Every structure is written in structure tokens, then in C-alpha cells.
Amino acid sequence: MATFENLLYALDSATGILTITLNRPAKLNALNAATIEEIREATQLALDDPQVRGIILTGSGEKAFVAGADISELAALNDISGRRAAERGQEAFCMLEESTKPVIAAVNGFALGGGCELAMACHMRVASENARFGQPEVNLGLIPGYGGTQRLTQLVGKGKALELLLTGDQIKAEEAYRLGLVNHVVPLAELLPFCAQLMTKILSKAPLAVGLVIDCVNAYYDKEMNGYQTEANSFGHSFASEDFREGTTAFLEKRPAVFTGK
């Protein structure tokens, strides 16, 4: 069985269901570069393993799926390294989206920033009643960098996506369900069993057909990466702004940010 520093990788050989658990509880499972790389490695390992038939992605603990990015790590980036970080994150998350093995996000708490982006990269999302979703990057003088501007728009529509992206507001699980961001909302204690039941139902169907359906649905959207590249470039440019420096400094100093629009 594979071992990782920031993930738990557990395959039920009887069902073919792989559970990948983001395991940085002290950081509310926040994404850093190492964790994103491990997500990529774990996904590739799963895709290459014929025993893996479906993937459930969740977070450790009862508070957070992924509470966001590691802000202290982001604070060290510039426009060039920021764009590269976005591209690496997009690559890892696109592997999940383009997997022909079904991927369900079991969202067990906060799914903010990169956490919301990670959940949206999965084929389906099931949320616990305490889950919260949001893209709060504008509070740091940033924008989403791992596909958030693209996938949120696909899932909830342009108007609502812009509202959530521009305000940085968090929404509760029931609102996420109403908007079509999540497929189901269940009590926290029932989250993983429900996801396993849903996955078992999917895995009872013809695997080739399941994979082809995923390919066809993904083909509905523009896959030429123009939108994603624009996002990556803009993400990189935002690191050169004074507002980014102020936003991250204020966050780390636990004080309100004073933005100047520069």
C-alpha cells in the first residue's frame, strides 16, 4: 500500500474503492505544494492500478475537507513562481477531472479556496451538513489559481460564480446544493457510508461505459485550456501587487487588511 506524508491512501480490495484522505489536521488540511504534488502522484497511482475502480476524496477530522491554501507558503511567491504554482495545481486537479475512474469528493467541513477548487475537480460532490464552500482569494489580493474561476462558473452559472468570486462569501451546504455545486447533503456521520454506497452503485455499471460517459461530459466544455491559462497568468500577475502583500501580511498578523488597489 502506498504511503504519503500528507495523504492517507486506503484501497478496499473487495470493492475496488480507493479512499484518499487529505491528512494535515493541524493545518485544517490546507494545501501546500507538497500536498498538491502528492495528490498528483496518488491520482496517477490510482489510474495505473487496475484494482482501483473508483476514488473517494475526503479530509481528515470533522472540521475541514481542505480549508484553503497554505498562506505562509503563498506569501513567498512572486508573479513567475505564482503562475507556475497555478499551472502545477491545475495539472493535478485536471487529472482528477479527466480520470475515467469516477471520483467523488466527500466534503466533511470547510472547502475554501483551493479546497473548493479540489472538490469541484471531482466528478461529484457530497457534503456533510456542516460543510462550507467559498473562494475567498480576493480577501488576500489574489484570485483562484487551480481552476476555480472556470469550474465554479460551469457548475453554478456566470452570475452566481461572479458574486461568490468577487465577494469571497462562504455558503453553507444547503445553499451549495440549491445552486448545484453539490449533489447531496447528508449528516457528517453518514458522509463516507453514503459516498461508498453511491460509488458502489456506479461501480455496478459497465466500467467502459462509465469512463466514456465521463469523457463525453468533459468534452462538453472547452478543453483547450485558454480560460485556465488566462487564470494562471492573472494568478501570477496578482503576486506582483501591493494588495497581495498587504492581504497576506494582514492575514499572518491577524489584522484587517487595508487595500489600495495597487
* Cell triple for 50: 487496475
Backbone angles phi, psi at 81, to 5 degrees: -70, -30
In this structure, which topology does domain 7-203 adopt according to CATH? Answer: 2-enoyl-CoA Hydratase; Chain A, domain 1 (3.90.226)
With the C-alpha atoms ordered 150, 169, 22, 78, is the resulting torsion angle positive or negative? Answer: positive
Instruction: Output the pLDDT for position 225.
Output: 47
C-alpha–C-alpha distance, residues 115 and 214, integer Å: 22
For residue 1, pLDDT over 90 is answered with no
At residue 243 the predicted structure's pLDDT band, cuts being 50, 70 and 90, is confident
Please tell me the pTM assigned to this model. Answer: 0.90
Instruction: Give the closest residue to 111 by CA, choosing from 76, 154, 75, 152.
Output: 152
- How many beta carbons lie within 10 A of that of residue 252, not counting itself? 11
Is residue 253 annotated as part of the catalytic site, yes or no? Answer: no
C-alpha–C-alpha distance, residues 61 and 22, integer Å: 10
Could you say which DSSP state residue 251 is in? H
At residue 231 the predicted structure's pLDDT band, cuts being 50, 70 and 90, is confident
Question: Helices 226-238 and 148-156, interaxial angle, to 10°?
Answer: 130
Tens-place pLDDT, residues 138-181: 999 999 999 999 999 999 999 999 999 999 999 999 999 999 99
At residue 227 the predicted structure's pLDDT band, cuts being 50, 70 and 90, is low
**Residue ranges of domains in the chain:** 7-203, 206-253
Is residue 137 annotated as part of the catalytic site, yes or no? Answer: yes
With the C-alpha atoms ordered 205, 207, 211, 213, is the resulting torsion angle positive or negative? Answer: negative
Residue 10 bridge partners (DSSP): 19
Select which of 117, 231, 242, 253 is catalytic. 117
Select which of 38, 87, 137, 231 is catalytic. 137
Could you say which DSSP state residue 69 is in? B
C-alpha–C-alpha distance, residues 194 and 189, integer Å: 9
Instruction: Output the pLDDT for position 213.
Output: 85
Tens-place pLDDT, residues 51-101: 999 999 999 999 999 999 888 899 999 999 999 999 999 999 999 999 999
